[in-house]
A and B are shown apart, each in its own frame.
Chain A
Amino acid sequence: MQKSATLLDFAIKYGFLALMAGLVIFFSVTAEGFMSPFSAVFILQSVAITGILALGVTSTLVVDGFDLSIGAVATSALMLSAYVMVVWELSAFWAVALSLTMGAMVGAVNGVLVVKFKVPDLLATLGMMFLLLGAQRIPTEGRSVSTGMALPDGTIANGTFSESFLMLGRYRIADLVPLSVVFLIAAAVLIWVFLELTRHGRLMYAIGSNAQAASLAGTNVNRYKILAYMISGTMAALGGVLLAARLGRGDVASGNNLLLDAVAAALIGFAVLGAGKPNAFGTAIGALFVGILLQGLTMLNAPYYTQDFIKGAVLVVALVFTFALSGRTGRGKA
């Protein structure tokens, strides 16, 4: 009895990492070229943007919130940075700075809607999502932003994406590691350090587990919740900027999948190391897991249209890991 219990503990704690290791071994044997630096970098690059968004949504999950607007914030940042450079003809610095500020502001509005106006988090951020999806189309009358486009007032936009901006999405360190991957790793480390090692992160976890208790212990619950949404909005904007830099134009239709992929990565992260709760390390691993799986299957010539199905299956399995197997009093069970 004792032994089987510890075996189960082991499975809960390391099951997901073991599964990932098994997957890597399986693909390296079956898919030629999977175990190469290029393939590794490709995987990282494919998950960099969703990973960054997922890290943001993790911070809202920590305070028992949720942010459905991240995908829309990312595409808004994409459109805004393009608009700043192409129409207003400002520098890359302004494109990045204004986009990140916009993300933080949207997060602040989300936070205020949730804590001051008591709108349930899912509804508030869903509303914000619609609002942004609409708002980003208004200045260009629904068209994509690119050099030479005609503006509503009849003039032609002459600005261009600056070289330094495009570097954010395209430059490779030592001709191998893209900058976006560096951003992902830096964001993961930053969010992890913030959540795990600082008192602010600790209080945010306390709020997520029992907000009433945190409040009676003197924590300013509202302020931390707003902060969480601001982190989420800023991360989403960063993801959008990187996407714009990679695409080189302000495409209205890009970034459709960002929300669902990011949320999936964050939820898969619950299962990593048996955490049973949102955590930055798990989120990064979750994003990586999805990346590895899709890359491997692609190299094995699995058709592209099976991708969403596979992501969904992974998510369901991870959720079972978190909630059924561990049987602990995780967030979802309480």
Chain B
Amino acid sequence: MSEQAIRLEGLQKAFGKNRVLRGIDMQIPRGKVTVLMGANGAGKSTLVKVLCGVHRADGGKVMLGDTLFAPETPSEALRSGVVTVHQNINDGVVPDLDVTSNLLLDTLASGGSTFLNRAQMRAKAHEIAANVGLEIDVTLPVAGLSLADRQLVAIARAMAHDPQVLILDEPTSSLSAAETKRLFEMVERLRDQGVAILYISHRMSDIRRLADRILSMRDGQIVQQFEDKPLDYEGAVRAMLGHEITEVDIRIPTPGKPVLELRDLVLQEGAAPFSIEARENEVIAVAGLVGSGKSALASVLFGLTQAKSGEIMLDGQPHRPRSAADAIAAGVYMCPKDRLVNAVVKDFDITRNITLPFTKRHARGGGFLSFRSERAKAKHMIAEMGVVCQGAGDGILTLSGGNQQKVMVARWMAEASRVLILDEPFQGVDIQARRDIGHKIRETAHTRTTIVFVAELDEAIEVADRIMVMSEHSIVGDHRNENIDVAAIMAEVVHAADARSAAGF
């Protein structure tokens, strides 16, 4: 038995033109917790899906012990001893069944006698639960359990397979502090039993507590490994976010009058209040890890949720939108993240996708649309944004991700705004589209104030005049984008996250 439970060599996976995994080389040793860090879109989820048999790799190989491992289905991966607990807890359990049935689900699914012996099943279920230190009444329905208990049931069920490798994909994202502690104890027990553990997380407190080694992943590759104690956590974050500054010549213009003022805004119970001022002709990038409150701030500005307390002023008037329609009417536009979920209307062509929020401006009396006016606007925006397509009538899904995103940005640039919010506008777009979009954001910025929410620091450096750091649902840093001290910003991103763990979250 080799010391490495699983070895990946040059693993590749592409979806169409989008190369998600670009040659992953990594090992996961037995009896250790290997933490995998990576920003959104780095390819972590794809990697997990290849390992648990959902996707098949295009190139490279995976060795499980001494044998080649290429599962075609999730159940094959499970039988081979690679067990995955997914982010979405309910993927791992059947809520309507009781704990016993859940724990024995794989046995039930793989055959056996038709009739069930209740007592025997309960005894077996007890045994499985006890193996992971789960003390629970196995006759309860899973739907009645807490999230943490459900997760432990999913893990217990997985562990019944005697796994060699356990993959935990952001397991603490919905757990309380006490529940997290229980999970950690179990992970440590399994590690001591010699299981190889791959732990995927953004949370610095989790990582500090558990990591024996850290792999930093970026753009489909493992960019750095950290094994020497004490582990260089900051270095790992830096490697994951990428710090080489792309050659962009940002000339910071003189900002105009204040457009948006936030005063003592509190986004969440217990979060520190913050105040910022965003001026005309200014592009502000807000950087922060996942869960730092960027989306919460965007939602408040766009009227999707309300702040706990504090005031928002727009051009000197109070701004309290109750809906997206309110915000749009006030001149506050938002290009949301996750375009396929939140923005793209799949049945529509480019033109209709662009004019969606502003059909009124293309309509005559009685709401009749002027197709000519729509088409002219779409053609103009396609040229402005440099969307690569055959024509304005192309279906939106015929475009590449980058071009789809250009259309989504074009949707909100088609009409003049006071505040333009772009939530993760560079998500899932290629480098060229990213440059084009960033360039266009800056070029048109003089008539409004622009706030760009980004996960990666180099995106912020590419696009912004000012870079703010968000953490714990509050703004913790504000930097002019000149001779930027990447290490200082990183420290804010990471250390603020530490403050949370110190506070017991």
Contacts and interface: CB of A to CB of B under 8 A. Distances in A.
A203 interface: yes
B363 A217 contact: no
A202 B352 contact: yes
A219 B124 CA distance: 54
Contacts of A209: 345-348
B346 A334 contact: yes
Contacts of B342: 212-213, 216
Given A199-B359, A217-B324, A217-B356, A205 B368 contact: no
A60 B357 CA distance: 22
Given A213-B342, A277-B347, A206 B325 contact: no
Contacts of B356: 203, 206, 213-214, 217, 219
A91 B361 CA distance: 45
A220 interface: yes
B344 A198 contact: no
Given A216-B342, A218-B325, A202 B334 contact: no
Contact of B411 (A205, A217, A219, A329): A217
Nearest to B338: A212
A328 B348 CA distance: 12
B343 A202 contact: no
B270 interface: no
B502 interface: no
Contact of B369 (A199, A212, A219, A220): A199
Interface in B159-202: none
Given A218-B328, A277-B347, A198 B341 contact: no
Nearest to A277: B347
A197 interface: yes
**Interface size bracket, A side:** 20 to 34
B362 interface: yes
B368 A197 contact: yes
Contacts of B395: 328
Contacts of A203: 356, 359
B303 to A, nearest CB: 9
A215 interface: yes
B367 A198 contact: yes
A218 B415 CA distance: 14
A200 B367 contact: yes
A333 to B, nearest CB: 10
B360 interface: yes
Contacts of A199: 359-360, 362-363, 367-369
A205 B348 contact: yes
Given A216-B324, A217-B357, A219-B325, A198 B345 contact: no
A213 B363 CA distance: 20
A269 to B, nearest CB: 15
Nearest to B336: A216
Interface of A: 197-200, 202-203, 205-206, 208-210, 212-220, 277, 328-331, 334
19 contacts: A198-B363, A198-B366, A198-B368, A199-B362, A200-B367, A203-B359, A205-B348, A206-B345, A208-B347, A210-B343, A213-B342, A213-B343, A213-B344, A213-B345, A214-B345, A215-B324, A216-B342, A328-B395, A331-B347
**Which 8 pairs, one residue from A and one from B, show the smallest C-beta to C-beta distance?**
A199-B359, A209-B347, A217-B357, A198-B367, A218-B325, A218-B328, A199-B363, A217-B356
